Amino acid sequence: MENLALKMQERLPAELIAFLRIAGKGAEARGQRLYLVGGAVRDLLLGRPNLDFDLVVEGDALALARWLAKGEGIGGENEKGGERVTVHRKFGTAKLRRGSLNIDLVTARSETYAKPGALPTVQPGTIRDDLLRRDFSINAMAIDLSPGSFGRLLDPHSGRSDLEQGRIIRILHERSFIDDATRILRALRYEQRLGFKLEKNTERLLRKHKSMLDTISGDRVRHELELILKEDRPEKILERAQALGVLQQLHPSLRGNGWLAEVFGEARQKAIADPALYLLLIVYHLSEEEIERFIARLKIVGELGRNMRQMPRLKGDLPALADHALPPSSIYRLLKHYPPGLIAACALASDTPIVRHHLELYNNQLRYVKTFLDGEDLKRLGVKPGPRLGRVLETLREAKLDGQVSTREDEEALTRQLMGRN
């Protein structure tokens, strides 16, 4: 078995190495074994940064976490040092935060699936059981943290060979995508992030079982899609998903085409890219009915769902913004009821330069214009509280947008005029 202690020393922060040694020693003192597993091992071998670390203990994870919380390793009570331990007794897990590092501690376990798409039934197991439940071979490696074998690599599924020689994404067994079809989306995410390729049989099974995505709840599918949209180039993953028929499985009208790559890239150039904006762009060309089906499938709620539902109405208003002579007040009047995120998405998506200009003008300038006078000022000038006061405020704002007033005195004069006074 290869020992990675030297590589760990070279590539991981010294404070983390010290903590891992203390944690491994503490586990052994309790008759347990502790391992670093998953993505941290993969990225260590690739030389990629990773500040999220998963630790698996053959034994009682919560007991070890409580020991660490006493200050033996993580200093759980010393908040000034940026260190904290959060225990989740219901799930038998603990989250340790040490400065910028996030460390999850769980008990080694095995999993069984009652039916496709169901959450697994778990029970305590060995480290080999725990690695067998992983999604891909490159994520199914572990490093022993016990004092006598610190740094020893456990690689029962030949993940290192797939990582460094084959450069492939390979599932661990034939039922992998049937048991948990979210692995389909994760496979594409890792493939594009790492510049790897799906192993031949893995791709065959992915194509064969892509319909199993229908067994996954909308919340879980949305979570995986959001993780895809947090990647550096999510459009590459969506393009690959379309080529394999995966994107259409989520919604038959979705497309991961060149247009999407173009607008995603522009969003990043403007530093406004985030998963919510990407999702609005993904549904931009869908009809109202198709958007509703997409929202229902992914169980999208809150502001994002409201923005998606307003997309068809805003698109219907866009032709009114195509007039070069449109005054700022008219632009403001057309757009003031729409949220900025939706306007930003339509600005990126529009192929009419003047429409795009007016959308960006509103988002970047017009919506921030405020009058000198507020409601209290208007009441002192004799405007009675109620709808009329709001109308006067809006008239003042539109006058300011169009350059008809520029000072507080101008606004007071216009208010008196509106009130029929000299």
| Degrees, nearest 5: CA angle 52-56-62 | 100
pLDDT reported for residue 83: 54
Bridge partners, residue 33, by sequence: 58
What amino acid occupies position 100?
Answer: S
- What CATH architecture does domain 180-300 belong to? Orthogonal Bundle (1.10)
As a whole number of angstroms, the distance between CA 16 and CA 47 comes to 16
In terms of Cα–Cα distance, which of 357, 361, 312, 314 is closest to 339? 314
pLDDT at site 72: 53
Helix (H/G/I), strand (E/B), else coil: 385: coil
Instruction: Enter the DSSP assignment of 386.
Output: S
208 C-beta neighbours (distance < 10 Å), count: 11
Strands 121-124, 109-112: pairing kind: antiparallel
Contact 144, 156 (CB under 8 A): no
Report helix angle 218-229 to 182-194, nearest 10.
10
| pLDDT of the residue at 1 | 64
The pair phi, psi for residue 31, each rounded to 5°, is 75, 25
Give the angle 302-307-313 at the CA atoms, nearest 5°. 145
Q: How far apart are alpha carbons 234 and 187 in whole angstroms?
A: 13
The one-letter code for the residue type at 103 is I
| Tokens matching residue 102 | 């996030």
CB contact at 8 A, 168 and 162: yes
CA distance 262 to 191: 21
> Within the chain, which residue ranges are assigned CATH 3.30.460.10?
5-166
Q: For 85, phi and psi rounded to 5 degrees? A: -120, 130
d(CA 207, CA 237): 15
Q: From the CA atom positions of the chain, what is the Rg in Å?
A: 28
Q: How far is CA 37 from the centre of its chain?
A: 23
Q: Is 38 exposed, middle or buried (0-12, 13-18, 19+ CB in 10 A)?
A: buried
Contact at 8 Å (CB) between 105 and 55?
A: yes
Residue 383 DSSP code: P
Q: How many CB atoms lie within 10 A of CB 415?
A: 22
User: What's at 61, amino acid-wise?
Assistant: A
The CA distance from 383 to 418, in Å, is 10
Q: Is the separation of the CB atoms in 154 and 127 below 8 Å?
A: yes
Task: Find the helix packing angle between 353-364 and 340-349, rounded to 10°.
Answer: 160
pLDDT tens, the chain, 422 aa long: 688 999 999 999 888 899 899 999 999 999 999 999 999 999 999 999 887 899 999 988 988 888 887 765 444 444 444 457 787 776 678 888 777 778 899 999 998 888 888 888 888 899 999 999 999 999 999 999 999 999 999 999 999 999 999 899 999 999 999 999 999 999 999 999 999 999 999 999 999 999 999 999 999 999 999 999 999 999 999 999 999 999 999 999 999 999 999 999 999 999 999 999 999 999 999 999 999 999 999 999 999 999 999 999 999 999 999 999 999 999 999 999 999 999 999 999 999 999 999 999 999 999 999 999 999 999 999 999 999 999 999 999 999 999 999 999 999 999 999 988 53
Shortest CA distance to 65 belongs to which of 83, 82, 48?
A: 83
Backbone angles phi, psi at 54, to 5 degrees: -105, 125
Model pLDDT, residue 339: 97
Q: According to CATH, where is 1.10.3090.10 located in the chain?
A: 180-300
Q: Which CATH class is domain 5-166?
A: alpha beta
Rounded CA separation 392/417 (Å) = 11
Q: Which helix (H) or strand (E) holds 93?
A: strand 93-98
C-alpha distances in Å from residue 92, one per residue of 25, 289, 299: 21, 43, 28
How many whole angstroms separate alpha carbon 120 and alpha carbon 398? Answer: 59
- Cα 150 to Cα 24, 116, 264, distances in angstroms: 8, 38, 44
